[in-house]
Amino acid sequence: MTPILNNFNAAEARRLIDQEIAAHEAAIVTHQAAIPGLKRRRNEHSCISKLPTEVITNIFFIVKGQESDSFEVVGPIAAVCHHWREILLASPRMWATISTFSFSSTDRVLELLKRSQSAPLQIPYLSTASAKPQAVNAILKQIGRVQELGLRLDTQLLHQIGPTSAPILERLCLDSGTPERFTLDMLFRDMPYLRHLQLSDILTSSGLPPLPSLESLVLDRIELSPLLAFLRSSPKLKDIRIYDTFKNSPTAAPGPIIVLPNLLSINITADSTNSSIILAHLEYPPSARVIFESVGESPGEPDLSGLVKACGRLAERGALPISSVTLGGGRLLMLTVSSPGMQGKYLRFLLEVDYYPMVCLALCSALPVQDNSVMIFHNLELTETQWRCAFHSLGQVHTLQLDHTTLHALAALLKSSSKEPPLSRLHTLHLYALKGLSDTLRNLLAERKQLSIPIMKVVLGYCPIPAEHVDELRGLAEVEWDGREEQ
């Protein structure tokens, strides 16, 4: 065969092979184009695809959660299949949460604003320190459809915002990241549907607009007078939390009582004077949960008027019955009042150490302790006379627990005159970490038995006592003992 013929045959062979390759490639393209459709048809027969679109959408909302960034969570879901992507793209609310994850990209923020259409926006946290300027500007132009907004303010952001209206805003959290002083009304002037407001180091003016829908208020570092103005403008408040010391301000002038008929809980961290001023201005249901924690040292005797008033309100109609009272010492004095069926603390005061006796007596006198109440004293050191005065104010107590106290407390239960002894209804006594109690406890049990008001049960824990003394006590009452003998 000649070389020319050989070359011809090789060229023809390559052409035929190329044609075959092209045919296969065309077939691959055809098959690849058909595969997505086949997958969609196959997916239509899966269990989840048979669910109504509304149900699948609700499942996606549960997976996403309230605070999760839309791109961070929804993006991977949209990449699972064509059907899911169509459902998500047809659900503007799925793309309406924009957080720190998306603020690092302007394109991402703009795409979320586009996909969310006119759905209410959730912006849990926005700071110019972590967000692109163009992204911040894009969000602020949409402030009219923001439903939740968390801002760390700086001077730049402050002048970009306001004042402006927020017609559908329901939740607002503001944190000052600048030494520049400004008030809330410099940012927003109209928030008719605001339900939750949290301010940290933000001033409030006395001329606040009404906040008719506000139910939850959290304030950190706020002056006293604007605070009272704030409360007056929010008659539907259910929960109030005020943290950190109040800045120096003159004593608030007497004003009208602030009536908060829906209040369920108030938590105040302040000195005793400011807390008393606040509580003196408030009228709230007696069943409301009150927590007060002092901060700093009082310049003189603490003002207990507001705290005593709060205790006294437990006797009013509608107040929950008292099941137990704990009065404990240590670094701070703590009073806890609990009611049946309530989780956590009902009424709690934390006060400075220096005025323990005065505070103990004042609070014990104010508490409307009822039948079948339990009284617990923890880590307190009072004189016998002071203990006796406290016990006389708690005549209805049937169970008493003395934990890490001194023998003065136990001795104060002995009869000291012709009058009825303190806590004459007492029938159960719990003693913990009390040393040298054998003689005093034996005398107390014998006296109560002789007076026909016996203490029926004694529980001893971490109280070193000889076994033979325990046997003597068991002749006077039922005794539970952990077996710790005196060394």
What are the pLDDT digits (tens) for 197-216? 988 877 665 556 678 899 99
- The pLDDT value recorded for residue 399 is 92
Helices 82-89 and 3-43 meet at what angle, rounded to 10? 50
Lowest average pLDDT, out of 4-18, 297-311, 468-482, goes to: 297-311
| Cis peptide, bond prior to residue 163, ω within 30 of zero | yes
Q: State percent of the chain over pLDDT 90.
A: 19
Do residues 335 and 327 make contact, with C-beta atoms less than 8 angstroms apart? yes
- Categorize the per-residue pLDDT at 371 as very low, low, confident or very high, splitting at 50, 70 and 90: low
Strand partners, 152: 127, 175
- The pLDDT value recorded for residue 189 is 75
Instruction: Tell me the pLDDT of the chain averaged across its residues.
Output: 80
Higher pLDDT, 143 or 203: 143
Question: Which of 44-58, 262-276, 456-470 is most confident?
Answer: 456-470
For 457-484, b where at least 16 C-beta lie within 10 A, e where not — what string?
ebbbeebebeeebbeebeebbebebeee
Pairing of strands 239-243, 216-220: parallel
- The pLDDT value recorded for residue 346 is 47
What are the pLDDT digits (tens) for 221-246? 777 777 887 788 888 999 999 886 55
What are the pLDDT digits (tens) for 389-445? 888 888 788 899 999 988 999 999 998 776 788 888 899 999 999 888 889 999 999
Lowest average pLDDT, out of 36-50, 85-99, 257-271, goes to: 36-50
Cα separation, 176 vs 380, in Å, equals 41
Lowest average pLDDT, out of 94-98, 99-103, 166-170, 293-297, goes to: 293-297
Cα separation, 285 vs 275, in Å, equals 18
Lowest average pLDDT, out of 22-36, 344-358, 400-414, goes to: 344-358
Residues contacting 159, CB < 8 A, separation 6+: none
Higher pLDDT, 140 or 261: 261
Cα separation, 192 vs 166, in Å, equals 8
Do residues 132 and 105 make contact, with C-beta atoms less than 8 angstroms apart? yes
Average pLDDT over residues 435-458: 92
Average pLDDT over residues 145-164: 75
- Categorize the per-residue pLDDT at 294 as very low, low, confident or very high, splitting at 50, 70 and 90: low
Give the predicted TM-score (pTM) of the model.
Answer: 0.72
Cα separation, 204 vs 429, in Å, equals 52
Higher pLDDT, 419 or 468: 468
Beta strand residue intervals within 343-464, DSSP E:
347-351, 373-378, 397-403, 428-432, 457-461
pLDDT at 4 over 70: no
Torsion sign across C-alpha atoms 102, 107, 110, 112: negative
Average pLDDT over residues 28-56: 81
Do residues 469 and 442 make contact, with C-beta atoms less than 8 angstroms apart? yes
For the range 267-270, what are the long-range contacts, defined as Cβ-Cβ under 8 Å and sequence gap of 24 or more? 267/240, 267/241, 267/242, 267/243, 267/291, 267/292, 267/293, 268/240, 268/242, 268/292, 268/293, 269/242, 269/243, 269/244, 269/245, 269/293, 269/294, 269/295, 270/242, 270/245, 270/246, 270/294, 270/295
pLDDT at 196 over 80: yes
- The pLDDT value recorded for residue 145 is 92
Indicate the SS3 state at residue 334.
Answer: strand
Cα separation, 168 vs 170, in Å, equals 6
Cα separation, 459 vs 473, in Å, equals 11
- Categorize the per-residue pLDDT at 343 as very low, low, confident or very high, splitting at 50, 70 and 90: very low
- Categorize the per-residue pLDDT at 344 as very low, low, confident or very high, splitting at 50, 70 and 90: very low
